[in-house]
Amino acid sequence: QKEVEQNSGPLSVPEGAIASLNCTYSDRGSQSFFWYRQYSGKSPELIMFIYSNGDKEDGRFTAQLNKASQYVSLLIRDSQPSDSATYLCAVQGGKLIFGQGTELSVKP
Amino acid sequence: EAQVTQNPRYLITVTGKKLTVTCSQNMNHEYMSWYRQDPGLGLRQIYYSMNVEVTDKGDVPEGYKVSRKEKRNFPLILESPSPNQTSLYFCASSTGGDEKLFFGSGTQLSVL
């Protein structure tokens, strides 16, 4: 079992829809959770982080954390073509571990 | 502008020819790290440094060396590159630990 698992996608959504990206992790002691966005040919960029159970909203982005079920998700509301990228989930327990990333494609 | 600067952006070399990838940050960050990114394997940590003169192995350190003589610089050294080190490399820094990383623009390395 991978330590941090994401569906590789591609996930395709129409413009204006809600994109839902999911991530599960194996280390129950994990404390910090991050979402990075990586455009094709570019470096990862931190877009969200969450430490506590529940939802955290920042503009069109919402991170959701459920430690009991060991999953963290990222919702992107009103998806735009400019949101097309690979989204990396990263989980920190004793060390930071990245998932393989989910490719998101937003179609106009 | 706050940034992590890596050079070169692209590098093609041959097996066994020593090379150095430079990394410099201007944010006074204490923590710096090197990752490699491979299709299907995601980002994997090579080495990290908590502060000047303090370095430690990550998950895939074999075949790599690092040094941290100054706070701003953290070069990655491949003493004898091999084809399995062909990858996309990223340097990253943060204020403390591996949280909230700032990444450099990446170095695409091909070892023939």
pLDDT digits (tens, 9 = 90+) for A82-99: 999 999 999 998 789 999
Burial A96-108 (b: 16+ CB within 10 A, else e): bbbbbbbbbebee
A24 has which bridge partners?
A5, A71
Q: Is the confidence at residue B99, as pLDDT, over 70?
A: yes
Say if residue B67 is exposed, middle or buried (CB neighbours under 10 Å; 0-12, 13-18, 19+): middle
Taking the CA of residue A98 and the nearest CA in chain B, the distance in Å comes to 6
CA-nearest of B33, B102, B25, B38 to B71 is B25
Candidates A32, A34, A100; nearest CB to B40: A100
Q: Which of B42, B100, B104 sits opposite A98 (nearest CB)?
A: B42
Which residue is associated with the tokens 């990586």? A38
Q: State pLDDT tens for residues A13-63.
A: 999 999 999 999 999 999 999 999 999 999 999 999 999 999 999 999 999
Q: How many helices (H) and strands (E) does chain B have?
A: 0, 11
pLDDT at A1 over 80: no
